């Protein structure tokens, strides 16, 4: 399945990209791991890009100990290319449990209509100044319900993206009138992109904004030169992404400490 390889390429490149923004990506043997400093497991990622062997069990333990030393929750992402062999047994033996499996989805942007009919008059802009960046940060922080004690760490993480026209990252802000209500982040690579931080404020949900934002983000990605868009879906977002034109191609397994 060639689309699975594309999905993995985008996600691995983005993980490395996030870490390189503030020199927070590390490696031990075949394992990569990064820390954002944000006390949220899904923003401190560990992964390997090939199956782990029995000889690499010690590496998993060392990486887990690093996160414990930092006092950060983390998740270990297992994509299809890393799944064969001893990977699952090694993670379980290290005390990591399977937390969830997430659908990895892909949309072919070449089939997008130029301007789909929208029930929601949502305006989406690419963040280009500090005021817009402040709004993006506030809406994303609230939408993902990060805890107040992570506010400073999230602020530093968001500011590391920068606003350069040549950046691989594009921060998108959705507005109803003059009110910011939704966010997304595009990671552009060649003719494909990854979609992240797609969220809507809690009191604005179930009103069609999520679908309108997803469709607008897809058109923005196409405008920037992407033919394919990939994302990981939460259970709540799956129907929305299907309606927008995404199809599930594979699943990523997420392991972690149950009490984290």
Determine if residue 91 is left, alpha or beta; phi over 0 gives left, psi from -120 to 50 gives alpha, anything else beta.
alpha
CATH number at residue 233: 3.40.630.30
Nearest CA to 107 among 15, 174, 183, 10?
A: 10
- Tell me how crowded residue 194 is: count the other CB atoms within 10 A of its CB: 26
Q: Contact 40/150 with Cβ under 8 angstroms?
A: yes
Q: At 2, phi and psi to the nearest 5?
A: -60, -30
pLDDT of residue 116: 62
Bridge partners of 171?
185
The verdict on 132 and 210 lying in the same domain is yes
The verdict on 88 and 212 lying in the same domain is no
Nearest CA to 126 among 35, 42, 209, 219?
A: 219
The verdict on 93 and 216 lying in the same domain is no
Number of domains in the chain: 2
The verdict on 117 and 147 lying in the same domain is yes
Q: What is the DSSP string of 133-150?
A: HHHHHHHHHHHTT--GGG
The verdict on 124 and 204 lying in the same domain is yes
The verdict on 86 and 160 lying in the same domain is no
* Domain enclosing residue 175, as ranges: 108-249
DSSP class of residue 110 equals: G
Q: What totals of helices (H) and strands (E) does the chain contain, helices first?
A: 7, 11
Residue 46, CA distances (Å) to 32, 34, 62, 240 in order: 6, 7, 12, 28
The verdict on 82 and 175 lying in the same domain is no
The verdict on 76 and 34 lying in the same domain is yes
d(CA 36, CA 232): 19
DSSP class of residue 83 equals: -
The verdict on 124 and 240 lying in the same domain is yes
pTM of the full structure? 0.93
The verdict on 75 and 94 lying in the same domain is yes
* Residue spans of beta strands (DSSP E) within 132-232: 169-176, 179-189, 192-200, 228-232
The verdict on 149 and 210 lying in the same domain is yes
Tracing tokens 């997420």 back to the chain, one arrives at: 254
Which stretch of DSSP H or E encloses residue 70?
helix 57-70
| Full pLDDT tens readout for the chain, 260 residues | 579 999 999 999 999 998 888 778 999 999 999 988 898 998 999 999 999 999 999 999 999 999 999 999 999 999 999 999 899 999 999 999 999 999 999 999 998 876 666 678 899 999 999 999 999 999 999 999 999 999 999 999 999 998 888 899 999 999 999 999 999 999 999 999 999 999 999 999 989 999 999 999 999 999 999 999 999 998 889 999 999 999 999 999 999 998 75
Nearest CA to 252 among 46, 94, 89?
A: 46
d(CA 16, CA 10): 10
d(CA 106, CA 230): 4
The verdict on 82 and 113 lying in the same domain is no
């Amino acid at each position: 399945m060639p689309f699975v390889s594309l999905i993995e390429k985008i996600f691995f490149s983005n993980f490395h990209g996030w870490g390189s923004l503030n020199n927070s990506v590390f490696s031990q043997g075949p394992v990569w791991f990064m820390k954002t400093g944000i006390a949220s497991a899904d923003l401190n990622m560990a992964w390997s890009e090939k199956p782990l062997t029995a000889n690499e069990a010690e590496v998993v333990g060392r990486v887990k100990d690093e996160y414990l030393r930092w006092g950060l929750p983390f998740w270990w992402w297992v994509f299809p290319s890393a799944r064969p062999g001893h990977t699952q047994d090694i993670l379980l033996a290290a005390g990591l449990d399977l937390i969830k499996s997430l659908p990895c989805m892909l949309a072919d942007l070449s089939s997008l209509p130029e301007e789909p009919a929208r029930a929601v008059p949502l305006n989406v802009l690419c963040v280009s100044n500090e005021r817009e960046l402040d709004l993006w940060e506030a809406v994303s922080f609230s939408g993902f319900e990060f805890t107040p004690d992570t506010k400073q760490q999230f602020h530093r993480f968001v500011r590391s993206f920068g606003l350069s026209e040549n950046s691989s990252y594009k921060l998108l802000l959705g507005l109803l009138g003059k009110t910011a209500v939704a966010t997304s982040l595009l990671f552009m690579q060649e003719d494909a992109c990854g979609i992240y931080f797609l969220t809507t404020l809690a009191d604005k949900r179930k009103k069609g904004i999520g679908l309108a934002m997803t469709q607008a983000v897809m058109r923005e990605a196409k405008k920037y030169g992407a033919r394919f868009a990939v994302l990981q879906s939460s259970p709540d977002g799956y129907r929305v992404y299907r309606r927008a034109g995404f199809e599930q191609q594979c699943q990523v397994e997420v392991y972690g400490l149950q009490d984290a």
